[in-house]
Amino acid sequence: MKSGIINKTIYDVDKIRKDFPILESMIHGKPLCYLDNAATTQKPKSVIASDVNYYTHLNSNIHRGVHSLSEAATKAYEDARIRVQKFINASSEKEIIFTRGTTESINLVAQTLGRSILKEGDEIIISTMEHHSNIVPWQLIAAEKKAKIKIIPIIDKGDLILDEYRKLLSPKTKIVSVVYVSNSLGTINDVETIISLAHKQNIPVLLDAAQAVNHLPVDVQKLDCDFLAFSGHKLYGPTGIGVLYGKSHYLESMPPYQGGGDMISKVTFEETTFNSLPYKFEAGTSNIAGTIGLGAAIDYVNTIGINNIAAYEHKLLEYATEELLKINGLRIIGQSDNKCSLISFVLDNIHPHDVGTFLDFEGIAIRTGHHCTQPLMDRFGVPATSRASFGLYNTKYEVDILAAGIKKIIEVFK
Partner 1 sequence: MDSELRELYQQVILDHNKSPRNFKKLENANFEAEGYNPLCGDRIDIFLVVEDDIIKDISFQGSGCAISKASASLMTHMLKGKSRKEAEELFVKFHDLITGKLGDNPSLDELGKLAVFAGVKEFPARVKCASLAWHTMHSALNKEEKVISTE
**Interaction site with partner 1 (CB under 8 A):** 28, 349-354, 357-358, 361, 368-370, 374, 377, 383-384, 412-413
Give the C-alpha separation, 331 to 99, whole Å: 37
DSSP 3-state of 217: coil
Give the C-alpha separation, 373 to 396, whole Å: 28
The strand pairing partners of 34, in sequence order, are 365
Contact present, 85 and 96 (Cβ < 8 Å): yes
* Smallest distance, partner 1 to C-beta of residue 183, A: 16
DSSP string, 30-88: EE-EE-BTTT-----HHHHHHHHHIIIII-S-TTT--SHHHHHHHHHHHHHHHHHHHHH
Half-sphere exposure of 145 (CA within 13 A, CB side): 25
Give the phi and the psi of residue 320 in degrees, each rounded to 5. -65, -40
> Is the CB of 166 or the CB of 353 nearer to partner 1?
353
* Smallest distance, partner 1 to C-beta of residue 29, A: 8
Give the C-alpha separation, 206 to 199, whole Å: 12
> Is the CB of 60 or the CB of 374 nearer to partner 1?
374
Give the C-alpha separation, 39 to 34, whole Å: 11
> Is the CB of 8 or the CB of 353 nearer to partner 1?
353
> Is the CB of 186 or the CB of 363 nearer to partner 1?
363
Give the C-alpha separation, 319 to 100, whole Å: 35
What is residue 101's DSSP assignment?
Answer: S
Contact present, 244 and 105 (Cβ < 8 Å): yes
User: In this structure, how many other beta carbons lie within 10 angstroms of the beta carbon of residue 119?
Assistant: 10
* Smallest distance, partner 1 to C-beta of residue 413, A: 7
User: Which candidate in 33, 225, 340, 372 is catalytic?
Assistant: 372
> Is the CB of 153 or the CB of 369 nearer to partner 1?
369
> Is the CB of 23 or the CB of 27 nearer to partner 1?
27
Give the C-alpha separation, 99 to 261, whole Å: 15
Cis peptide before 204 (omega within 30 of 0): no
Torsion over CA: 175, 138, 107, 135 (sign): negative
* Smallest distance, partner 1 to C-beta of residue 351, A: 4
* Smallest distance, partner 1 to C-beta of residue 360, A: 9
372 is catalytic: yes
The strand pairing partners of 31, in sequence order, are 26
> Is the CB of 116 or the CB of 357 nearer to partner 1?
357
Give the C-alpha separation, 323 to 12, whole Å: 23
Residues designated as active site: 372
